Amino acid sequence: MKNFSRALREASKYWHLLVLATLSSMGVAFLWGGNIGALFPIIEVTLAGKPLQDWIEAEIGKSQTAIIDCRNTIEELKRQQISADGAKHTLLEIEISKLDARQHTEAAAIAWSQKLKPYIDYYLPRSPFQTVQLIVAVLFVATIVKHILLLANSYLISKVACQISRDIRLRIFRKALSMDRAGFTRYGSSGFSAHIAHTTETLANGITSVYGGAIREPLKLMSCLAGACFICWRLVIISLIIVPVVAVLVVWLSRSIKNVCQSLIENALGLHHVMLEAFANIHTVQAYGMEYKEQERFEAATRQMLHFSLKTAFLNSFSRPITELMGVGMLSSTILVSAYLVLNNTTHCFGVQICDRPLTISAIMVFFGLLVGATDPVRKMSTVLEGINTGIVAADVLYPVLDCESTIKDPPNPQPFEEPIHTIGLRNTWFAYYGEQWVLSDVNLDIQRGTRIAVVGPNGAGKSSLLNLVCRFYDPQQGSIRFNDVDLRAITIANVRSRVGLVTQQTELFNESIRYNLCYGAGDVTEEEILAATRMARAHDFIVNKLSKGYDTVVGQNGQRLSGGQRQRIALARAILRNPEILILDEATSQVDYESEVLIREALLEFSHDKIVIMVTHQNTLLEIADRVLEVNEGQLTERSRPAAELRVA
């Protein structure tokens, strides 16, 4: 509930919308009970066949007569009390107090009727049928106004919920982008996708339930109960006898729905994981003929979703009988007691005073109407509770993600670092993923500006880990990575990464135009700079000669409309256009043909005169242009001598 409360507090910034929505709810509640109460004059006029002017006069006369009768009876009882003693005297005293209370009730009724009489005389017609016509017209208009207010309430609350949902989606997306690599791996792209698409929607429904139904429906209920209390408050209390039993069932149901919703959200994450993983690896799935296997995984995930969805649907449908039980229980107890009072024209039932004045047929009919009107918000409260429970579960999933701190973050007081990078240094560097086996052990290294470094070694030896540390995707557990003898952890992340251009083995392109991909991360660049970068990367010729729309060609998802060599050259041009001081290539030519590899080599030679170039590669074409070759093996870094043939080519 703590996390859900945070979501509700965040909605307070839209307080003006919430105030309007609450006022709309109050209007809906007032008209909800008022429309039912308006049936009273219709029934009175219809039963008596007289205008309300005559009815109010008759009511005043009846009350005056009742007061006179009470006074006479009290005087008679007091005379009897003089000669009575013991128990009889006590009984007479009780009867006198009851009659005295009845006098006060009738006097209050006269005062109320006299206040009402001028308005009835002035505003209502004297014809009974015209009175009914007027009240029906007022009811019709009031119903229209009620639905307008209800529409406004729903729209305003939905707007607030959608805004909160959007804000949280943006924050989760921002969190995913800024998360360190280890933290991102913990949730995965499927987890973040499920939270953004599904869990935030569930939270929005919970917020809608709180600020919508949880305010509007209780107000409607109170409106009906207030009207019923005006007629006979003791009878209302009798009608609520069954409420504690229903409350226990509602609490049990609420907890059950909450537990099932927790499982449902967890299985939604699994469903997204299976789906996105199959789509991302579609080439491998089809190449190995494993479509049936992925279908089985997806069927298993959807089967789990189906199980919990049906369980949720069952529990939600179970809420209707509970509310029906409450409604029937309220009406049943009231019908029995009120029938006894009306049939016997009395105010007491089994010696217990229920009402101050005998109930009329019209009053008891309106009382029943108000109780029936109260059952509708009670029934809808089950849906409100469902929304709140699912919202609580969604908030408990989302806010821990939002509260998760990245381990890679800016220092509290970052050190200014504006000078060019002359040296990259690794000082006694130890690194392990998730604190387990060391990937790099006590590495020391200096790389000078204008140097091309080739890093070789077996798979899993730590080559890519070395690059990740230089980009500050991770921090070492011991030791440091330094630019000009300044620890990277003392510099802002943006400052570090603005100095780096990265080209990876799995080229990452966006489903946008080539121009968009080239300018990604480069800031404001001119057309001449774009053309210079693509020419240097040997990409300009194929862009203008082989692509129908040239630089405006959309490359498809992850660049699938281009060949591997074309994608790598665009990625290299993107890095060149950024004009980094450090250019990093992580197996950037492992998936391209020989011609593309030669072109990339030529581009590197042209670009790298005053840069630091670090290449993870096993390709001779790139090894030949390296000034130094470093070998990583079992966490240790050693410098390997370049063969004579390599030196001649270089």
DSSP per-residue string spanning 376-404: HHHHHHHHHHHHHHHHHHHHHHHHHHHHP
Q: Say if 565 falls within a structural domain.
A: yes
Q: Say if 22 falls within a structural domain.
A: yes
Q: Say if 355 falls within a structural domain.
A: yes
Q: Say if 289 falls within a structural domain.
A: no
201-228 per-position pLDDT tens digit: 888 888 888 888 888 888 988 888 888 8
Vertex 348, ends 347 and 350: CA angle to 5°? Answer: 160
Residues 6+ apart with CB under 8 A from 36: 224, 227, 366, 369, 370, 373
Q: Residue 510 pLDDT > 80, yes or no?
A: yes
Residues 6+ apart with CB under 8 A from 85: none
Q: Residue 327 pLDDT > 50, yes or no?
A: yes
Domain check: are 379 and 446 in the same one? no
C-alpha–C-alpha distance, residues 176 and 188, integer Å: 9
CB half-sphere exposure, 340, CA atoms < 13 A:
15
Q: Residue 646 pLDDT > 50, yes or no?
A: no
pLDDT of residue 591: 65
Question: CA separation (Å) from 417 to 421, 482, 494, 522, 612?
Answer: 9, 12, 11, 20, 18
Domain check: are 452 and 396 in the same one? no
Q: Residue 649 pLDDT > 70, yes or no?
A: no
Percentage, residues of the chain above pLDDT 70? 96
CB half-sphere exposure, 345, CA atoms < 13 A:
0
C-alpha–C-alpha distance, residues 634 and 34, integer Å: 82
Residues 6+ apart with CB under 8 A from 53: 120, 121, 124, 126
The mean pLDDT value for 182-194 works out to: 80
pLDDT of residue 601: 81
Question: CA separation (Å) from 647 to 623, 624, 641?
Answer: 10, 7, 10
Q: Say if 417 falls within a structural domain.
A: no
Domain check: are 9 and 132 in the same one? yes
Residues 6+ apart with CB under 8 A from 6: 395, 399
In sequence order, the β-bridge partners of residue 446 are 425
CATH number, domain with residue 430: 3.40.50.300
Domain check: are 376 and 504 in the same one? no
530-577 per-position pLDDT tens digit: 999 898 888 888 899 888 889 999 988 878 888 888 888 888 888 888
Phi, psi of 431 (to 5 degrees): -150, 140
End-to-end CA, the chain: 67
pLDDT of residue 488: 93
**Residue among 402, 614, 581, 408 nearest 492 (CA):** 408
Residue at a domain's end among 344, 374, 403: 403
- CA 124 from centroid of its chain's CA atoms: 52
Highest mean pLDDT among 29-43, 241-255, 472-486, 628-642: 472-486
Q: How confident is the prediction for the chain on average, in pLDDT?
A: 83
What is the residue whose two structure tokens read 């008759």?
58
Domain hosting residue 578, numbered range: 423-649
66-101 per-position pLDDT tens digit: 888 888 888 888 888 777 777 777 787 877 887 787
C-alpha–C-alpha distance, residues 610 and 465, integer Å: 25
Domain check: are 495 and 592 in the same one? yes
Domain check: are 455 and 588 in the same one? yes
pLDDT of residue 647: 38
pLDDT of residue 645: 42
Domain check: are 459 and 576 in the same one? yes
pLDDT of residue 58: 80
What is the residue whose two structure tokens read 């209707």?
320
What is the residue whose two structure tokens read 């004045």?
357
Q: Decide: residue 549, CB within 10 A, 0-12 exposed, 13-18 middle, 19+ buried.
A: exposed
DSSP per-residue string spanning 540-565: HHHHHHH-TTGGG-B--GGGTTS-HH
Question: What is the token pair recorded at 66?
Answer: 């009742």
Domain check: are 470 and 560 in the same one? yes
Q: Is the dihedral of CA 567, 573, 576, 578 positive or negative?
A: negative
CB half-sphere exposure, 181, CA atoms < 13 A:
10
Q: Say if 73 falls within a structural domain.
A: no
Highest mean pLDDT among 225-239, 263-277, 355-369: 225-239
Q: Say if 274 falls within a structural domain.
A: no
C-alpha–C-alpha distance, residues 105 and 110, integer Å: 9
Residues 6+ apart with CB under 8 A from 614: 447, 453, 455, 467, 470, 582, 583, 584, 585
Beta strands 452-456 and 612-616, pairing class: parallel
pLDDT of residue 110: 84
177-185 own/partner pairs: CB under 8 Å, 24+ apart: 178/406, 179/404, 179/406, 180/406, 180/407, 180/408, 180/473, 180/474, 181/468, 181/473, 181/474, 182/407, 182/433, 182/434, 182/474, 183/404, 183/406, 183/407
The total of other beta-carbon atoms located within 10 Å of residue 239's CB is 27
What is the residue whose two structure tokens read 């469903």?
271
Length of the chain equals 650
Domain check: are 380 and 438 in the same one? no
110-153 per-position pLDDT tens digit: 888 888 888 888 887 888 788 788 888 888 998 899 999 999 99
Domain check: are 624 and 561 in the same one? yes
Contact 337, 349 (CB under 8 A): yes
Q: Say if 61 falls within a structural domain.
A: no
Lowest-confidence segment of 134-143, 353-362, 368-377, 393-402 by average pLDDT: 353-362
39-55 per-position pLDDT tens digit: 777 776 676 677 777 77
Domain check: are 348 and 435 in the same one? no
CATH number, domain with residue 46: 1.20.1560.10
What is the residue whose two structure tokens read 């789906």?
275
Q: Helix, strand, or coil here: 137?
A: helix
**Residue among 528, 503, 530 nearest 516 (CA):** 530
Contact 370, 37 (CB under 8 A): yes
Strands ordered across the beta sheet of 478-483: 438-448, 423-432, 478-483, 486-487
Question: What is the token pair recorded at 466?
Answer: 């070395």
Q: Helices in 124-213 by DSSP H: which ranges?
A: 128-178, 181-194, 200-208
Tell me, letter by letter, the H, E, C secondary structure of 472-514.
Answer: CCCCCCEEEEEECCEEHHHCCHHHHHHCEEEEECCCCCCCCEH
Residues 6+ apart with CB under 8 A from 536: 573, 576, 603, 606, 607
C-alpha–C-alpha distance, residues 542 and 132, integer Å: 85
The total of other beta-carbon atoms located within 10 Å of residue 532's CB is 16
- Looking at the structure of the chain, the number of domains it has is 2
Residue at a domain's end among 403, 434, 451: 403
Question: What is the token pair recorded at 365?
Answer: 């009919």
Residue at a domain's end among 371, 403, 435: 403
C-alpha–C-alpha distance, residues 275 and 284, integer Å: 14
Domain check: are 433 and 495 in the same one? yes
Provide the phi-psi class of 429: left if phi over 0, else alpha when psi is between -120 and 50, else beta.
beta
C-alpha–C-alpha distance, residues 633 and 439, integer Å: 9
C-alpha–C-alpha distance, residues 158 and 211, integer Å: 9
Q: Helix, strand, or coil here: 200?
A: helix
C-alpha–C-alpha distance, residues 61 and 69, integer Å: 12
pLDDT of residue 480: 92
pLDDT of residue 350: 77
pLDDT of residue 487: 92
